[in-house]
Structure 1
Amino acid sequence: MIIVAAVALLAWLWLAATGFWRTDQRLPPRREPAAWPSVAVVVPARDEAAILPETLPALLAQRYPGPLRMILVDDGSGDGTADVARALGGERLTVTAPGERPPGWTGKLWALAHGVAQAGEPDFLLFTDADIAHGPYSVAALVASADGRDLVSQMARLRTRTRWERLIVPAFVYFFAMLYPFRWVNGPGRTAAAAGGCCLVRRTALERAGGLAAIRDALIDDVALGRAIKRAGGRIWLGLAGDVRSVRPYPTLRSLWDMIARSAYAQLRHSPLLLAGTVLGLAVVFLAPPVLTFAATGAVRVLALAAWVLMTATFVPMLRYYRQPWLAAPLLPVTATLYLLMTVGSAVRHWRGLGATWKGRSYG
């Protein structure tokens, strides 16, 4: 027990030193260009008729000084998404459909590739999901921050209205930042990632990286895009959003479970060895400290409590970002247990041949 407690404390000392838990990575300093570049906004949408009235008007009302084109790609919807988009957008919005998806492509990336083909040759492409609500100056702020950068991505503020959303969503972003520390992503090192809900990419940089065809089968497409741009020599930036938010509801544990589990095992490259290491790591780093704090005595309890305190302290900034009470921070081990079970559940789905499923599509 003392070895487990000591390992947990050492792990938290190292994690705290990386600074992954900081929430200060916001849009970089902005420089207004002498001539505003052209931007094409591409929105992939599949069965989003109910959510578009809440998000599309704000996107169409962007106050951007340069040439701006809006394209919504209806990805085989069965709920009238294209009709709703046309009614909302009128002449300001191009609504198109990509046709049958070729083998080897995920639905979203095929829709995005079709949108890119329709966009012509803009200076920048903004990939944004249908559930993302943008502030009126969102596009202008992204472009102004892209000075010298080839990809600028903001992790949209997710919804936290229900009890389950408040418990799981802040930890979702916290764990993502643990895997891909934003400061490391934004530096010259190999760490790369992006947030698919709001991703501005320089068109020429995307072409140098091989276009979307280079990542056509990626289930975690945003991280794959960030890696592709950085490997091709591009400068990338990832941070937390201010006026960019997701309005998609996840009111139940089941809906959140499905959202996370559909790609959790893909994140581990479908490796049983990585799965075993992840389960062991979560158990030692997140679960052992509170368990040993209550179950052990003496030096073991002191080490375990110190690890739990460090864990709690690193979670507080993310709770504050999501406007949640800091007193919820000690409950992070409970949420980590749920994530452990979701990850195992994702692997079980894969082993049963079900793959990742999203809106009626399943990817092996």
Structure 2
Amino acid sequence: MRVGPQTAYRGGGGKQSDTGVHERDLHPATIDDGLGTAVGVGQTARVSAIVWTAAGSLAAWLWLLLCQGFFWRTDVRLPPRRDPASWPDVCVVVPARDEAAVLPLSLPSLLGQNYPGRAEVFLIDDGSTDGTGDLARELAERHGGLPLTVSSPGEPPAGWTGKLWAVRHGIGLARARVPDFLLLTDADIAHRPDSLHQLVAAAQTGGYDLVSQMARLRAESVWERLVVPAFVYFFAQLYPFRRIAVRGSRTAAAAGGCVLLRAAAAERARIPEAIRQAVIDDVALARAVKGSGGHIWLGLAERVDSVRPYSQLHDLWRMVSRSAYAQLRHNPLLLAGTVLGLALVYLVPPIALLVGLATGDPAGALVGGLAWLVMTATYVPMLRYYGQPLWLAPLLPFTAFLYLLMTVDSAVQHYRGRGAAWKGRTYARPDAVPDES
């Protein structure tokens, strides 16, 4: 029988066109399942990609939950301590640049420390234009307490950040007193009356060369509530507190607002000369001390609070973006990896859930929802630590997206020559500055 192009059929119902090409071949997005049912290839691939991507995010979250030093727990506080038989001498060094707005809330708390041993405060005025130095003297006369010395080191030379140049000047003045410990604390940090007492007792009891507490940041405005707890959460995820105190571990970090440092350990690690170019000076300091054989500890604060307000998103954005690209060593590949990592870990779960529900893909929705649930659960302890409502926990992907944008902006500002800008100073990347050593 003659078969013409107008009447030719093949098994399964595939009709030929006049050119002899099957109509189903003109639609590569469909296949025959052998029963005469067309199935969408593109849709299958798209759903499969959603499921697999969400599964990758879920796997990452299960690893973070169980294998990243239990970073999400907030019970790492000052370790067990007892009062020493004799109290060591302590010198407190406070670098300050244009801090007149917060100094009345912070400096009196340092001067009023109930410390059984000898202690003295050195406030280093780093070129302030708002009368910070004069105000510090007035506060000391008004409140009394520990002896206060106010001094200024002048403008930092090339190769030094302003803060570390001020710290160097303060440590130089302190060494004339031959202290056993140095307390490095920022001008916006308020200490409870027994803060120094407890810090020294913890260092002496545990044999630590460095004891640092991450000050409880202010979280009162809408943006502070949304961003600040996440800032500490992300920091702990990057530097799990439990691993920092383990001798021999590579994890090292400190919180610059409150660092108690043995004077001998500072000399051994060449602090601050060894880290004079560091923008993220607290982490660099901890690495230097640990790298020189020191025993360090970092945890969340109970007696130390930041009084600096970050009421607007712009303020928080600047706080993060000024050092985010420096954290990535100004490396474009690390930046790209960080952006992809943040997207996979924090953005994929809600997207997979919503896309799965919208496309009728229960597997994608389930896996994405589980990843989002684990993420949310790990954020709850930090919200409780900050006294924030728990309904903020599911919003962590949105906050992570903000941090992603801040990180990208940090790189953009760096390549525009405005990276690491703070209070009128802009710092070059370290390898752009001649090494003086």
User: TM-score, length-normalised on structure 2?
Assistant: 0.82
List 4+ stretches of structure 1 deviating above 4 A.
none
List per-residue Cα deviations over 1:275-312 (Å, max 9, x = no partner).
00000001010001001101112211111111000000
Secondary structure at 1:146 match in 2:
helix
Alpha-carbon distance in 2 for matches of 1:11, 1:266: 25
Alpha-carbon distance in 2 for matches of 1:307, 1:264: 26
Secondary structure at 1:41 match in 2:
strand
Could you tell me how far 1:103 is from its partner in structure 2? Answer: 1.0
Root-mean-square deviation (Å): 0.8
Secondary structure at 2:298 match in 1:
strand
Gaps of 5+ in 1: none
What corresponds to 2:58 in structure 1?
A: 9
What corresponds to 2:372 in structure 1?
A: 308
Alpha-carbon distance in 2 for matches of 1:97, 1:272: 38
List per-residue Cα deviations over 1:88-139 (Å, max 9, x = no partner).
1137210000123111000000000100000022000000000000000000
* 2:397 paired with 1:340: no
Contact kept, 8 Å, 2:155 with 2:162, in 1: the verdict is: no
One-letter amino acid of the counterpart of residue 65, structure 2 = A
Alpha-carbon distance in 2 for matches of 1:187, 1:164: 35
Give the one of 102, 114, 133 matched to 2:169.
114
Match runs of 1:1-364 below 5 Å: 1-17=50-66, 18=68, 19-90=70-141, 92-120=147-175, 121-147=178-204, 148-188=207-247, 189-296=249-356, 297-364=361-428
One-letter amino acid of the counterpart of residue 312, structure 1 = T
Alpha-carbon distance in 2 for matches of 1:355, 1:178: 24
One-letter amino acid of the counterpart of residue 185, structure 2 = T
Alpha-carbon distance in 1 for matches of 2:104, 2:418: 33
Secondary structure at 1:78 match in 2:
coil
One-letter amino acid of the counterpart of residue 338, structure 1 = L
Identity %: 65
List per-residue Cα deviations over 1:59-108 (Å, max 9, x = no partner).
10000000101100000000100000011113721000012311100000
Alpha-carbon distance in 1 for matches of 2:87, 2:186: 24
One-letter amino acid of the counterpart of residue 15, structure 1 = L
One-letter amino acid of the counterpart of residue 313, structure 1 = A
Alpha-carbon distance in 1 for matches of 2:126, 2:106: 17
| Aligned length in residues | 364
One-letter amino acid of the counterpart of residue 128, structure 1 = T
Task: Return the structure number with greater relative CO, CA threshold 8 A, min gap 6.
Answer: 1
List per-residue Cα deviations over 1:234-277 (Å, max 9, x = no partner).
00000000120000000100110001000000000000000000
Secondary structure at 1:130 match in 2:
coil
Contact kept, 8 Å, 2:349 with 2:372, in 1: the verdict is: yes
Alpha-carbon distance in 2 for matches of 1:100, 1:238: 31
Contact kept, 8 Å, 2:322 with 2:421, in 1: the verdict is: yes
One-letter amino acid of the counterpart of residue 59, structure 2 = L
One-letter amino acid of the counterpart of residue 414, structure 2 = H
Alpha-carbon distance in 2 for matches of 1:100, 1:336: 37
Alpha-carbon distance in 2 for matches of 1:209, 1:119: 17
Alpha-carbon distance in 1 for matches of 2:155, 2:74: 41
List per-residue Cα deviations over 1:162-200 (Å, max 9, x = no partner).
000000000000000011000011112110000000000
Alpha-carbon distance in 2 for matches of 1:264, 1:186: 25
Could you tell me how far 1:26 is from its partner in structure 2? Answer: 0.2
One-letter amino acid of the counterpart of residue 112, structure 1 = V
Alpha-carbon distance in 1 for matches of 2:302, 2:171: 26
Could you tell me how far 1:211 is from its partner in structure 2? Answer: 2.0
Alpha-carbon distance in 1 for matches of 2:341, 2:128: 40
